[in-house]
């Protein structure tokens, strides 16, 4: 009378699937061929022919305070365009810093390594920047976002300022924790306040 149901194939729920970082978007007009050629030569001089042939250097206008970023296994280096306004040695130091990440990962193969660990420090020394620090101290200005939305707790009167509006029911965490064992309760729901 009725159709038999096919047995469903069990699959892992999406929360258990291994998540991969977003891949970089390589914009052809942002690629810097001169810096890419330099990285190619530097990698080949270290005996890393595959890295040299596949490395790409590009400028990323979306970067605000980060000087550079290296993507592995894509062998892609992004640089902040604000480096063009800095002294040339800062640009070269940042490029070598990011290339050292790719060199360290290339040498490590499939073995997991610390991003600024011993392998990276050795790669920095091989590229001529021994003793390199993991972070820069360049004067990149952080973009300030105006917080147009304010919310107030009706119980403790604490005000929360936000750039984006709250889209769902949110309550004051400290009041929920103190008076309701950490569970949400409507009486502690944040109310929008006019700015």
Determine the distance from the C-alpha atom of residue 169 to the mean position of all C-alpha atoms in its chain, rounded to a whole number: 29
- DSSP bridge pairs for 161: 150
Stated pTM of the model: 0.65
Could you give the 3-state DSSP secondary structure of residue 112? coil
Residue 69: in which H helix or E strand, if any?
strand 68-71
| All structural domains of the chain with their residue ranges | 24-126, 149-193
Neighbours of 147 (CB within 10 A): 12
Neighbours of 70 (CB within 10 A): 22
Residue 2 has pLDDT above 80, yes or no: no
What is the CATH code for 24-126? 3.30.2010.10
Mean pLDDT (the chain) is 87
What are the tens digits of pLDDT across the range 117-145?
Answer: 999 999 999 999 999 988 887 877 777 77
* Average of per-residue pLDDT across 81-103: 94
Going by their DSSP bridges, the two strands 159-162 and 76-79 should be labelled as: unpaired
What are the tens digits of pLDDT across the range 42-61?
Answer: 999 999 999 999 999 999 98
Residue 22 has pLDDT above 70, yes or no: no
Neighbours of 27 (CB within 10 A): 11
What are the tens digits of pLDDT across the range 158-180?
Answer: 999 998 999 999 999 999 999 99
Both tokens of 38, joined, read 């330099």
Q: Are 184 and 171 in contact (CB under 8 A)?
A: yes
**Nearest to residue 133, comparing CAs of 85, 88, 100?**
100
Across 25-106, the runs of DSSP E, i.e. the strands, are 56-59, 68-71, 76-79
């Amino acid at each position: 009378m009725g159709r038999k149901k096919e047995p469903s194939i069990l699959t892992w729920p999406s929360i258990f699937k291994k998540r991969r970082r977003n891949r970089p978007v390589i914009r052809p007009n942002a690629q810097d061929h001169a810096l890419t050629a330099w990285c190619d030569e530097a990698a080949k001089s270290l005996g890393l022919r595959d890295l040299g042939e596949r490395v790409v250097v590009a400028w990323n206008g979306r970067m605000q305070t980060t000087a550079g970023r290296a993507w592995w296994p894509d062998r892609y280096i992004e640089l902040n365009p604000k480096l063009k306004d800095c002294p040339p040695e800062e640009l070269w130091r940042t490029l070598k810093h990011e290339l050292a990440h790719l060199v360290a990962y290339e040498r490590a193969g499939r073995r997991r390594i610390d991003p600024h660990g011993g392998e990276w420090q050795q790669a920095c020394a091989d590229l001529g920047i021994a003793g390199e620090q993991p972070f820069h101290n360049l004067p990149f200005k952080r973009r300030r976002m105006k917080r147009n939305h304010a919310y107030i707790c009706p119980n403790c009167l604490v005000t929360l300022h936000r750039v984006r509006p709250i889209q769902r029911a949110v309550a004051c965490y400290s009041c929920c924790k103190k008076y309701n064992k950490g569970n949400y309760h409507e009486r502690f729901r944040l109310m929008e306040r006019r700015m």
